């Protein structure tokens, strides 16, 4: 394998860092040229990037974006948790984010002190003890354009989401279904898996599932996956009139074939094994471009999605992160049980996605 570094200057482009890779095989020569970083010499900089195959690569890409364009601003509702401050400090020191915090200043100061953070590095908006007010003030920062990302702090999820859905200052985008997507780097695989929806929509119908797919596909595109493969999960891989999930999968596949769902390949129903294992798909005689190669796993309902997500995390200790998508801006909704690393990776994903939404 040979590596070439090139620096080309022209009227329209300025290649500050462009690394190309050529692979030479024994039988014939196959060349694959990869440009990892490119920015346009204009007021609006653009990145062209290869598919992100790990969450570490995602974090590196967020750093590349913000090194050129500056850190994204994240509005955090009720930011008085020391564990949250640890993740915010990681993101701030990595240069990918700056933060506006809402809440009671005394409690925020105590949390910052417990985490060893200097509150002078943060913008604080003083609020009363009302969680609803904290959520509204944080989401207003985003809807007004002062911040790029809305993030949950130490408030009840219901109050956080009410802020997001507020009719006057919230982030709902028309009638589009808002959904949640987890993404994982699973040991033994060379790409990321997206699991949706495991946290937001309980029993989505076909129309909602179509929106959930569209949301996840948009996120996958921002991660450099040009045409993600979507597997509609069920208990079996055959359409069964007595199993609604299989009927939904068949309908979604038809919608994709008729260009009602674009930018991806949708197929199903799939049992989990033949969605992620080419060997299992071959044994069962399933001929599909998605079989064994899925990028996005569409759960039939929240129970299946949540169980799958937690099995991935807790049985094998795989890295994970997640976002609420389908709104006017990325939304970071983490759990108190999440590690600082998971929170940092979720912030990095929000930074990458926020950048793609503005292109």
Q: What is the pLDDT of residue 195?
A: 98
Structure tokens at 45: 């900089």
DSSP labels, 132-178: HHHHHHHHHHHHTTS-SEEEE-SS-HHHHHHHHH-TTT----TTPPP
For residues 153 and 335, give the distance between their C-alpha atoms in angstroms, rounded to a whole number: 9
CA distances from 258 to 9, 78, 265, 350 (A): 44, 45, 11, 31
DSSP state of 121: G
Neighbours of 165 (CB within 10 A): 12
CATH 3.40.718.10 in the chain, residues?
A: 179-320
Q: What is the pLDDT of residue 33?
A: 30
Neighbours of 97 (CB within 10 A): 26
Axis-axis angle for helices 340-357, 82-93 (nearest 10): 50
Question: Given CA atoms 282, 288, 289, 290 in this order, what sign does their dihedral have?
Answer: negative
Structure tokens at 93: 């020191």
| The domain over range 179-320 is classified in CATH as 3.40.718.10 | yes
pLDDT in tens, 132-167: 999 999 999 999 999 999 999 999 999 999 999 999
Q: Answer yes or no: are the C-beta atoms of 116 and 41 closer than 8 Å.
A: no
Q: What is the pLDDT of residue 42?
A: 34
Q: What is the pLDDT of residue 129?
A: 86
pTM of the model: 0.85
For residues 150 and 44, give the distance between their C-alpha atoms in angstroms, rounded to a whole number: 23
For residues 41 and 300, give the distance between their C-alpha atoms in angstroms, rounded to a whole number: 45
Q: What is the pLDDT of residue 49?
A: 60
Q: What is the pLDDT of residue 128?
A: 87
Report the candidate in 214, 231, 294, 295 with the shortest Cα–Cα distance to residue 268: 231
DSSP labels, 268-312: EEE-HHHHH-HHHHHHTT---SSTT--SEEE-SSHHHHHHHHHHH
Q: Answer yes or no: are the C-beta atoms of 31 and 15 closer than 8 Å.
A: no
Chain centroid to CA 178: how far? 13
Structure tokens at 58: 């995602």
Over its length of 359 residues, how does the chain's per-residue pLDDT go in tens digits?
A: 333 233 323 333 333 333 233 333 333 333 333 333 333 333 344 444 689 999 999 999 999 999 999 999 999 999 999 999 999 999 999 999 999 999 999 999 999 999 999 999 999 999 988 999 999 999 999 999 999 999 999 999 999 999 999 999 999 988 999 999 999 999 999 999 999 999 999 999 999 999 999 999 999 999 999 999 999 999 999 999 999 999 999 999 999 999 999 999 999 999 999 999 999 999 999 999 999 999 999 999 999 999 999 999 999 888 999 999 999 999 999 887 888 899 999 999 999 999 999 87
Instruction: Quote the radius of gyration of the chain (alpha carbons, Å).
Output: 21
For residues 329 and 145, give the distance between their C-alpha atoms in angstroms, rounded to a whole number: 10
CATH class in words for 55-172+328-357: alpha beta
Prior bond of 269 cis (ω within 30°): yes
């Amino acid at each position: 394998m040979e590596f070439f570094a090139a620096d080309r200057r022209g009227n329209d482009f300025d290649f500050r860092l462009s690394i190309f890779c050529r692979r030479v095989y024994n039988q014939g020569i196959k060349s694959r040229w990869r440009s990892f970083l490119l920015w346009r010499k204009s007021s609006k900089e653009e990145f062209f990037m290869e598919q992100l195959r790990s969450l570490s690569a995602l974090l590196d890409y967020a750093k590349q974006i913000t090194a050129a364009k500056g850190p994204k601003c994240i509005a955090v509702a009720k930011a008085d948790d020391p564990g949250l401050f640890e993740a915010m400090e990681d993101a701030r020191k990595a240069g990918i984010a700056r933060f506006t915090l809402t809440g009671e200043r005394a409690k925020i100061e105590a949390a910052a002190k417990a985490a060893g953070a200097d509150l002078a590095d943060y913008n604080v908006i003083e609020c009363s003890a009302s969680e609803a007010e904290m959520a509204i003030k944080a989401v207003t920062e985003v809807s007004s354009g002062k911040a790029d990302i809305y993030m949950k702090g130490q408030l009840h999820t219901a109050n956080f989401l009410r802020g997001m859905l507020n009719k006057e200052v919230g982030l709902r985008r028309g009638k589009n279904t808002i959904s949640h997507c987890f993404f994982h780097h699973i040991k033994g695989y060379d790409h990321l898996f997206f699991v949706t929806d495991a946290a937001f929509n309980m029993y989505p119908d076909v129309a909602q599932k179509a929106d959930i797919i569209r949301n996840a596909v948009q996120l996958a595109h921002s991660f450099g996956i040009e045409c993600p493969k979507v597997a509609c999960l069920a208990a079996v891989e055959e359409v069964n009139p007595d199993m609604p999930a299989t009927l939904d999968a068949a309908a979604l596949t038809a919608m994709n074939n008729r260009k009602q769902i674009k930018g991806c390949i949708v197929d199903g129903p799939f049992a989990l094994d033949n969605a992620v294992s080419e060997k299992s798909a071959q044994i069962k005689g399933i001929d599909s471009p998605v079989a064994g190669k899925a990028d996005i796993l569409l759960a039939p309902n929240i129970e299946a999605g949540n169980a799958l997500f937690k099995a991935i995390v807790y049985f094998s200790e795989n890295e994970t992160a997640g976002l609420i998508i389908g709104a006017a801006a990325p939304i970071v909704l983490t759990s108190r049980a999440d590690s600082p690393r998971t929170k940092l990776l979720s912030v990095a994903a929000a930074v990458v996605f926020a950048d793609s939404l503005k292109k």
